[in-house]
Amino acid sequence: MKKVLLTGFDPFGGETTNPAWEAVARLRGRRYEGFEVEVRQVPTVFRTSLRVLRQAMLEVRPNVVIGVGQAGGRSDIAVERVAINLDDARIPDNDGEQPLDLPISEDGPAAYWSTLPVKAIAAGIREAGIPASVSLSAGSFVCNHLFYGLRHLIATEFTACRGGFLHVPFLPAQTIGRAPTPSMSLEHMVNAIEIAAMASMRYGKDIAAIEGRLD
């Protein structure tokens, strides 16, 4: 049976929950036509997150890995297209580390593209009535660090695997006192991640669709 590995981060930045993990955890053990889902929580810590990810990939031997992270302030599911070789933390991670202007990999390329069908994923999520777009920036915090590290692991060690990253908005409860900050229901997040997993297993090549941005 083929496998999709989903990862979600623990809470960070003073939050008591992380919608990425809450959504991913609800897909634990799901079986679909042709594949099953494994999930792992990763710490919101720069280097440690990659060690946890690599160990999970060694254990699961997935065909596809989809990392999921929280992007408070975004209003839709952001299907990330590119990871950059840069750590530049606006806030400390959960171990108090705050790297500034440092490469993630000294010998890695400046950036990696997602190897998931990002346009097909975004289109599929929107067809389900859930806002989604293809994003050209995963930031420079631990989410981008994990995304870049995942792609570097795929490029150097797990070459038969494909991988990418999604960002999800805040949950409604996280926006109390933060109006007018956008949010999304947990149900929609779970559905979107499920669609991403199915599209990643279905499409070997991405669809042709307009997803370019001016910003």
For 165-185, write each residue's pLDDT tens digit: 999 999 999 999 998 999 999
- Domain containing 21 equals 2-202
Percentage of the chain modeled with pLDDT above 70: 100
51 assigned to some structural domain = yes
Examine residue 71 and state whether it is found in any structural domain, yes or no: yes
State pLDDT tens for residues 128-165: 999 999 999 999 999 999 999 999 999 999 999 999 99
Residue 131 lies in a domain: yes
Give, rounded to a whole angstrom, the gap between the first and last alpha carbons of the chain. 41
Instruction: Please check whether residue 208 lies inside any domain of the structure.
Output: no
Give CA–CA dist 206/158, Å, rounded: 21
Buried b (16+ CB within 10 A) or exposed e, 35-64: bebbbbebbbbbbbbbebbeebbeebebbb
Q: Is residue 132 part of a domain?
A: yes
Indicate whether 21 belongs to any domain: yes
Residue 78: which CATH number? 3.40.630.20
* Residues designated catalytic: 80, 143, 167
Spatial separation of the C-alpha atoms in residues 193 and 35, rounded to whole Å: 15
| pTM higher than 0.85 | yes
pLDDT for 2 beyond 90: yes
Examine residue 210 and state whether it is found in any structural domain, yes or no: no
Rg (alpha carbons) of the chain, rounded to whole number: 16
- The number of folded domains in the chain is 1
